[in-house]
Structure 1
Amino acid sequence: MTEQGAAVPPSIDVPLVRRLIAAQFPRWADLPVRPVDDGGWDNRTFHLGDTMSVRLPSAVGYASQVDKEDRWLPVLAPRLPLPVPAPVGRGRPGEGYPFPWSVRRWIEGRTARVERITDLTEFARTLAGFLTALHRTEPADGPPAGAHSAFRGAPLSTYDGETRRAIAALGDRVPVDTVTEIWTLALRSARTGPPVWFHGDVAAGNLLVREGRLVAVIDFGCCGTGDPACDLAIAWTLLSGASRSAFRAALAVDDGTWARGRGWALWKALIRLDDPDPVGAAEARHALDAVLGEYAESATR
């Protein structure tokens, strides 16, 4: 049951979106609605005509992010070097759907994959420039890391118990001593500086490319103010070799922040290795191998 006392509808689909639009935004009722490729998990996303998208939270835990994005995206957008989603309308619960939802300006592009990127090192530097601008934006009264951000931006120790349980459960499927060493090093490097803005979910699915280049960053549902190390996990989930080095150099982060970023990537990989979705499990294995390989290389430098 949700906080509104109604169950999440069994299917967030095109008919539901059409009903919601017709009831709350009748001026757009004649626009076609169709699912977005790679429509996401936390939110289900649909095209609304050619210039807008509709995003509906998939569970109560994501519902508060609608108001947060509506409040802060217009503040952050002018300070960032790449486009981010622009709020167009805010929907209310209705038609059997229990949460607030949003209409955004559509940004043309495809989710980032290595084969879609012309120059991964250039991509890494562009992304680092975006994150640098975000991290340097005045935090003002931005929301501190917490449940609304899935504790991204909070101390990495938030996930200490979960990580150690995953290591124990995986047993000889992972090099226990090495992953424990990496995790311990990350925990020892607690941030001491003031909170800064972070995105919170810098993943391939939230980075849009067009003609081989990074053109936009989307889905700020996990954003907030705190430790930006969580934004570095992409270095192990998508980047590699020269592109990873270029990303680190362009961000100019210290060793502690890098270690915590590695810790975020390790945590996510460990808890997803048993993902029933074979794609998710394969992504987790790739990230874990990247963490182990990069850590081994760093030990020799």
Structure 2
Amino acid sequence: MTSADGRAGIDAALVERLIGAQFPQWAGLPVTPVKVDGWDNRTYRLGDDMSVRLPTAEGYVPAVAKENAWLPRLAPQLPLPVPTVLGAGVPGEGYPYPWSVRGWLPGEAADRAPIADMVRFARELAAFIRALQRCDADGGPAAGRHSWYRGASPAFYDHETRRCLNQVDGRVDTKAAGRAWDAALQAEWRGEPVWFHGDVAAGNLLVEGGRLAAVIDFGTSGVGDPACDLVIAWTMFDGASRAAFRDAVGQDDGTWARARGWALWKSLLTLAGNPGPELAAVNHRIIDAVLAEA
């Protein structure tokens, strides 16, 4: 199969065929692309109240079964809506991966929606993260390949991070960044494993009426070290909102040291790829904020 975007040949016509073949009760409902889509998965709106989510590559396939199994167990323990699984699709119509039908969650992603009070938003997000950490972790998927090693030690990305430090030398204070990275590796996780989301980013937070309304995309979730969920302190919050988030979410100094490591890894990796000026400026700001605290 081929497509304009080259991602697993996914388009609205494919989704219509899959629905017609596997979920005939929903055949004939309009299938429309969402306005802003992700890279790991393609998402289409199905009628008014549902969505269809399809992995774009084999590496994202483990998330399908994981979310199908665990989202229904996590949802009752969380203070905000998360995706509801309505159907588990299988390969077909030339599409090679499992896929799912979800309930439609209203709202607009936080990187595009107006937020009425960023300090309140930060506290609401912190409350969600704390609630997620309190969920029963027994039998949950231990951090590893399925979570792209979020929830594991940032040491998994040590070689990559040090390569990136060499590549961006002269553009970033690599001595300070190296010290912060070393501190992240030294602050080993010694607590009981807890649930983490793995990709707490503005694009996965839905806003309605100016407030945090839902959290989506648990594809990198699992059970382990929650430090990866704190990176949003520097990628979205600043000043008073960052202070409010840090105060409300808690966590010990070692967890914050590892969180700084996760933030550095991603921003250094992005800069090493020589992004455009706008994306480069964003990641320079993130690194500056992280190093100011380190």
TM-score tier by shorter-chain length is over 0.9
**Equivalent runs, 1:118-267 vs 2, <5 Å:** 118-267=116-265
Return the offset for 1:115. Answer: 5.9
Distance 1:228 1:147 in 2: 16
Return the offset for 1:276. Answer: 6.6
Matched, 1:49 2:47: yes
- One of 254, 257, 278 as aligned partner of 1:282: 278
Match of 2:15 in 1: 17
Q: Which runs of 5+ in 1 are unaligned?
A: 1-7
One-letter code aligned to 1:230 = C
Match of 1:295 in 2: 291
Distance 1:249 1:158 in 2: 28
One-letter code aligned to 1:217 = V
Residue correspondences, number: 289
Match of 1:62 in 2: 60
Distance 1:248 1:186 in 2: 17
Compute the TM-score of the two structures, normalised by the length of structure 2: 0.94
Return the offset for 1:295. Answer: 3.2
Matched-pair contact (CA < 8 Å) for 1:53–1:104: yes
Q: Which runs of 5+ in 2 are unaligned?
A: 1-5
Instruction: Tell which deviates more after alignment, 111-120 or 254-263.
Output: 111-120
Matched-pair contact (CA < 8 Å) for 2:184–2:257: yes
Q: Over aligned residue pairs, what C-alpha RMSD do you find?
A: 1.6
One-letter code aligned to 1:292 = D
Match of 2:110 in 1: 112
Instruction: Tell which deviates more after alignment, 283-292 or 132-141.
Output: 283-292
- One of 37, 40, 50 as aligned partner of 1:39: 37
Identity %: 56
Matched, 1:78 2:53: no
What secondary structure does 1:286 align onto? helix
Distance 1:19 1:114 in 2: 32
Deviations 1:99-149 (A, max 9, x none): 000000000011112761111111000000000000111201000000000
